[in-house]
Each structure stands twice: as structure tokens, then as C-alpha cells.
Structure 1
Amino acid sequence: MYFGGEIPHFLPPLALQGSSFALLVWQELLKIRYGSTTTYATMATKIAQQRGLAKMSAQAIGGALKNNPISIIIPCHRVIGTNGSLIGYAGGIEKKKILLGLENLTTT
């Protein structure tokens, strides 16, 4: 389905294990719609607000994404740099580019 370019309309049951911070970040990732992206900075702002913090570093988000155990289902490939660049994907930037291409997204 996904690799055929179709939008998945279901989420398999997940039994994720990780720190409370990582679980929060991964839950936020699940809200990024197919064919959309967000930035590490935007994710940091959202998570900081949810945790009642004034701010949070984008690098903290990257750390949680790095430990994502199911990176296509929890779509960390949809998180990009503030300037639209492809950065920080555990599977490699080329794979991130391919996954975004499947979703008809192009980035720098």
C-alpha cells in the first residue's frame, strides 16, 4: 500500500517502548499527515508546550527520532530542517528522500 504510493488509512496496533519523552515525540509524529512535513524546531515548540516548558532544542527531538523503532509507521522521515533541507534520518538521507518522494513531496 504505502510503497505503491497509496495513502494508508489505518494504523496497526502499536506497543511502543521508550522513555516518556520519546513516546510523546513519537505520538506527535503520528499526527503528521501523509504528504506533509514539519520541522525539528516546530516539533520542539509543540513538545515544549505540552510539557509546560518555555522552550526545547530541536536536537532533543532529533534524539527521540533517532531511536524510533518503526520509522515508516511513525513517520520521522516527515521531519525536516527549518530551511527545508533533509537532515537527520537514521536510515540515511537518500532513503528519507525516497520516502518523501513516495508521498509526492520534494525538498532541498
Structure 2
Amino acid sequence: MILIADENGLYGSWFMGQKYDRLGFEDLEIAEQSSSILSEAQAWLDAYFAGQEPDFCPPLSPQGSPFQQRVWQELVKIPAGSTMTYGQLAELLACKSAQAIGGAVGKNPLSIFIPCHRVLGSQGQLTGYAGGLERKVWLLEHEGLSLDDKSRVVLRKKND
């Protein structure tokens, strides 16, 4: 993964080669160096990938429009092992377009930290994921969800 931060917060986390990789940061000279924010982000990711639910999070500083910010703030509220549809998000945000919600979700600059992988199509089916559908499947299964034979998420833990 690629992480971008400064002393104020984490601006981006992307899978290598994902769609919108470093969007908004393409023209900046980025130096590889350590920082307390990056260390905290790495510790958070290590805990998440170890199957733990981290009880801490680095300061997040996603850059986007006010509408995108509203959508991303709702995504953070979806707990691990749970999902929401684009339509449910649209209703929650009083937005008439699930497609507009999808556009904001797709441009989320903080993969995993802002859990856009937990957003599904109207029938619980997998839809696009900037990091790739295979990663979305892995992340959902990592959080204990299962898929049925039509690639729809079954909202129960694997061990239930």
C-alpha cells in the first residue's frame, strides 16, 4: 500500500496500482520518510490485517468536495462485518442519486481507513471497487462476511 501523510494527518492510502491512485497528489514531490502519523497508520493496518479491530486511528485528512466529505464521514460509521448499499447511503444523506454516492465512494482516498469496501449494490451484490473486486472480496471475507453463489454478500459471520 501507498500512504501519504504530513504532520497533520493521513491524506491517502491506496493499493498499488488501484484506480485513482494518488489522485490530487500526482504533481507533488513526495519524499519517503517516517513520521508519527505514518507509524500510527502502519500500526492500525497491521492490527486490521491481523484480524483485530483497532481501537485507535491516525488523524484522517481526506481531500475532497464537501459532498464527498459527507459521504466519507458516513462510510467511517459502517462497522467491520457490516455493509450498506449505495441506495441506503443516498437515503441517509438525503441525496436523490445513488450514482452520485457511488462517485464519491469510488474516489475515497483512504482505502480501508474509510471502509468503502463495505458498500454494496442494491441487492447486496458486489459492485466496483477502486482497489479491484478481488480485494473487496478479500476484505469482506477478512471481516467475516460470506458470498453466495451469485456474488452477493451474506450478512452473517462465516462461523455462524
Higher normalized helix content (fraction of residues): 1
Q: What 5-or-longer segments of structure 1 have no aligned partner?
A: 49-54
Structure 1 residue aligned with 2:74, among 8, 14, 28? 28
Residue matched to 1:8: 54
Task: Give the Cα–Cα distance (whole angstroms) in 1 for the partners of residues 54 and 146 of structure 2.
Answer: 20
% identity of equivalent residues: 57
Residue matched to 1:51: none
Code of the aligned partner of 1:17: Q
- Output the TM-score relative to the length of structure 1: 0.89
- Where 1:44 maps in the other structure, the secondary structure is helix
Moved over 2 A (4+): none
5 Å matches for 1:4-83? 4-48=50-94, 55-83=95-123
Q: What 5-or-longer segments of structure 2 have no aligned partner?
A: 1-46, 153-160
Indicate the structure whose relative CO is greater, using CA pairs within 8 Å and at least 6 residues apart.
Answer: 1
Aligned length: 102
Task: Give the Cα–Cα distance (whole angstroms) in 2 for the partners of residues 16 and 84 of structure 1.
Answer: 27
Task: Give the Cα–Cα distance (whole angstroms) in 2 for the partners of residues 8 and 84 of structure 1.
Answer: 26
Q: Can you list the C-alpha shifts for 1:37-88, whole angstroms capped at 9, x where unaligned? A: 010100000111xxxxxx4211111100111111110000000112111102
Mapped contact 2:62–2:110 kept (Cα < 8 A): no
How big is the alpha-carbon RMSD for the aligned residues of Structure 1 and Structure 2? 1.0
- Output the TM-score relative to the length of structure 2: 0.61
Residue matched to 1:89: 129
Instruction: Give the CA deviation at 1:23.
Output: 0.3
Larger Rg: 2
Higher normalized strand content (fraction of residues): 2
